[in-house]
Amino acid sequence: MGGSAEGQYVLEARGVTKRFGGITALDSVDLELREGEVLALVGDNGAGKSTLVKTITGALSRDAGQIFFDGRPVQIETPSEARNIGIETVYQDLALVNELSITKNIFLGREIIRDNILGRLVGALDFKKMEASVRDLFSRLDIRISDIYREAQSFSGGQRQAVALSKTVMFGKRVAMLDEPTAALGVRESKMAMDLVTSLKDHGLSVIMITHNMQHVLNHCDRVMVMRLGKRAAVRDVSDVDGDTLVGLITGAIAAGSG
């Protein structure tokens, strides 16, 4: 094994290590994400899940490790470098700017400028075009929000998470990194968000999803990677595990090679 078989993995990390002072949060962790899969990232509190996502996406520096995209080594030192490569991260809290409309949130940082002389001179924003794109996006993803002018803060947690997740499809991203997308949501809202995760996959994205919800792993993910004490403890096809096995791997009650 080892190496980066071209075409097999969209994203690969090798030997990612991260220390915070005396704490080794990540100890030479490998990760492989297949094209078009949803990979669950599970583990106890403090296992290193969020740190792994942040070090891969440039939100935190790495002490060691190499990232490959489409089998080629890439430099990702900042979040914008990750975004340019095609990796979008959705964090639970920072997902939307409260004071901005849904449309503005989706286009934040990539507004469409009106394509005429005036627009090119003064950078006039083409709201019609942006709104049409958002409506098209929402209808493709079956997101039922019609009031796309309203401030983000006036929407429910589930609706806000749906908008945040939809951004990954809007700009042709290849990989979506989701850190506990349902942590702040109720039962119905969680279901809505998980259906949306499935439709991200239908729209060609490959997804890494951190979660503590074993039902979400079993019902919505293809493979699962278990982290324990800063290391990769196991990787399994979801079809090969049940909830008890997963919990055993997470707590360490079931020992496992890193296979």
Ligand X SMILES: Nc1ncnc2c1ncn2[C@@H]1O[C@H](COP(=O)(O)OP(=O)(O)OP(=O)(O)O)[C@@H](O)[C@H]1O
Residue with tokens 């979400």: 216
89 counts as binding ligand X under rule CB under 6 A: no
Distance of CA 186 to the CA centre of its chain: 20
- Rule CB under 6 A: which of 2-41 touch ligand X? 20, 23, 25
Which CB atom, from 29 or from 207, has the smaller least distance to ligand X?
A: 29
From the CA atom positions of the chain, what is the Rg in Å?
19
Q: Which of 11, 13, 19, 10 is nearest to 62 (CA)?
A: 19
Binding range to ligand X, per CB under 6 A, among 46-54, 89-97, 103-111, 193-201: 46-54
Among the listed residues 33, 41, 43, 50, the single contact to Mg ion using CB under 5 A: 50
Which CB atom, from 50 or from 89, has the smaller least distance to Mg ion?
A: 50
Euclidean distance between CA atoms 131 and 123, whole angstroms: 17
- Rule CB under 6 A: which of 202-241 touch ligand X? none
43 counts as binding ligand X under rule CB under 6 A: yes
Binding range to ligand X, per CB under 6 A, among 48-56, 95-103, 139-147, 157-165: 48-56
Least distance CB 10 / ligand X (angstroms)? 22
Among the listed residues 12, 38, 48, 96, the single contact to ligand X using CB under 6 A: 48
Residue 35: phi and psi, rounded to 5, are -60, 125
Distance of CA 200 to the CA centre of its chain: 10
Euclidean distance between CA atoms 185 and 198, whole angstroms: 17
Contacts with Mg ion, residue ranges (CB under 5 A): 50
